[in-house]
């Protein structure tokens, strides 16, 4: 479950935004956890007809050491921040995006996150996103190097070229952060088409005339298809965890579980391969919710949709509605269970009527988005 504070940190990072097609509100809160490992991206105008929203829940695998868990949790945080900063950019950079093939471009962007974190440039960026580790480098370097060598990658980062693909880092053979990673659940809205891509147990839900519909699957190791892949790749499932360690079957990072050189990336014990679903929006659709499991541990999809509808009767500001959800889910005491996790959610409300679809041939060449993503700072 992670290390908890003696009292919750309830300060929230909240934001609202809109364009001609939709409006959104978001909020995130550290809660009882010792670190804030969630991150998010909210870009209303990825291009002239496309919006992008994503939630990322970082995690680190604990062991009996008092020091290494803190570092691994820290790395989980920066993997989530890395995804929030770069995943949507990689969606745009893929040649399939310009051709109108959003499904292919987003799938390749998920895999690209793992590739980018392997090299020296990736390690430099991870270190920059988690600048607080520099304060403790001297204390922990000797302790950790003998176990993992992770700090070498964070400290020793000679400048190289600008191409992620050709840089090799000190841990290229091991493929980057070892037992830390992040979920990724993203929603891309282009005109009246919605593409949802998910790896992990963050979730996307849509409200249609008040009815909640899950648009993503929570990837847990004991699901039949997930367990089959894990076992074929040489892993095991014990007590609902991969190798009795990780309670997710898909994630970005977690390179320890991606080491079978005889298997493609989508068939590794843990894979970044997202489930991708495409939907056509209609005027009956009320709003979209993306949230990390800190929310879903406390409320079902329908309970959350009902709560949001109820709050919208008296509150028009979507971020304020998100804040009320976080407060409702926060555990009253440090139990280590439901309500003690980090919490992040985004509500996207569609403006009526939904815009008419545009064919891929009508799309002009897309430019790389501006740095519109928002990443909460640890409080």
Domains and CATH numbers, the chain: 4-119+180-357 (3.60.40.10)
Angle between helix 68-93 and helix 137-145 axes, rounded to 10 deg: 90
Residue 139 has pLDDT above 70, yes or no: no
Q: Mean pLDDT in the chain?
A: 81
Residue 322 has pLDDT above 90, yes or no: yes
Neighbours of 119 (CB within 10 A): 24
Q: How confident is the model at residue 2 (pLDDT cuts 50, 70, 90)?
A: low
Between the alpha carbon of residue 65 and those of residues 60, 61, 69, 178, 228, the distances in Å are: 13, 11, 7, 16, 32
State the Cα–Cα distance between residues 331 and 326, nearest whole angstrom.
10
What mean pLDDT do residues 125-154 have?
A: 48
% pLDDT > 70, the chain: 74
Query: pLDDT tens digits for 26-52?
Result: 999 999 998 899 999 999 999 999 999
Residue 95 neighbours by CB under 8 Å, 6+ apart: none
State the Cα–Cα distance between residues 135 and 139, nearest whole angstrom.
9
Three-class secondary structure of residue 88 per DSSP: helix
Instruction: Report CA 220 to chain centroid distance, whole Å.
Output: 16
Residue 72 has pLDDT above 50, yes or no: no
Angle at 202 between CA 333 and CA 57, to 5 degrees: 70
State the Cα–Cα distance between residues 267 and 179, nearest whole angstrom.
18
- Whether the pTM exceeds 0.95: the reply is no
Three-class secondary structure of residue 343 per DSSP: strand
Note the pLDDT of residue 77: 86
Flag the least confident range among 13-17, 251-255, 375-379.
375-379
Higher pLDDT, 334 or 104: 104
What mean pLDDT do residues 159-182 have?
A: 52
């Amino acid at each position: 479950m992670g290390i908890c504070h003696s009292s919750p940190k309830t300060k929230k990072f909240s934001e609202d935004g809109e364009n001609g097609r939709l409006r959104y509100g978001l909020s995130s809160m550290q809660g009882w956890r010792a670190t804030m490992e969630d991150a998010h991206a909210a870009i209303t105008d990825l291009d002239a007809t496309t919006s992008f929203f994503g939630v990322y829940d970082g995690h680190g695998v604990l062991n009996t050491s008092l020091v290494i868990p803190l570092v691994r949790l820290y790395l989980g945080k920066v993997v989530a921040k890395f995804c929030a900063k770069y995943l949507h950019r990689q969606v745009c950079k893929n040649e399939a995006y310009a051709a109108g093939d959003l499904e292919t471009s987003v799938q390749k962007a998920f895999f690209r996150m793992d590739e980018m974190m392997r090299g020296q440039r990736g390690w430099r960026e991870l270190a920059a996103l988690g600048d607080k580790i520099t304060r403790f480098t001297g204390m922990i370097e000797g302790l950790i190097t003998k176990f993992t060598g992770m700090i070498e990658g964070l400290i020793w980062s000679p400048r190289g070229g600008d191409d992620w693909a050709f840089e090799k880092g000190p841990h290229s053979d091991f493929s980057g952060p070892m037992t830390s990673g992040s979920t990724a659940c993203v929603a891309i809205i282009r005109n009246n088409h919605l593409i949802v891509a998910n790896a992990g147990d963050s979730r996307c839900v849509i409200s249609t005339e008040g009815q909640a519909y899950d648009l993503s699957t929570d990837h847990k190791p004991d699901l039949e298809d997930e367990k089959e892949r894990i076992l074929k790749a040489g892993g095991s499932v014990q007590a609902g965890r991969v190798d009795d360690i990780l309670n997710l079957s898909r994630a970005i990072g977690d390179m320890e579980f991606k080491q079978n050189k005889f298997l493609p990336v989508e068939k590794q014990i843990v894979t970044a391969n997202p489930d991708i679903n495409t939907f056509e929006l209609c005027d009956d659709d009320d709003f979209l919710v993306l949230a990390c499991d800190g929310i879903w541990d406390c409320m079902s999809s329908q309970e959350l949709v009902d709560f949001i509808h109820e709050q919208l009767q008296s509150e028009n500001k979507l971020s304020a509605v998100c804040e009320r959800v976080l407060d409702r889910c926060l555990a009253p005491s440090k139990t280590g269970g439901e309500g003690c996790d980090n919490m992040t959610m985004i509500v996207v409300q569609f403006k009526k009527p939904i815009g008419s679809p545009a064919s891929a041939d009508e799309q002009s060449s897309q430019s790389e988005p501006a740095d519109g993503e928002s990443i909460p700072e640890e409080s």
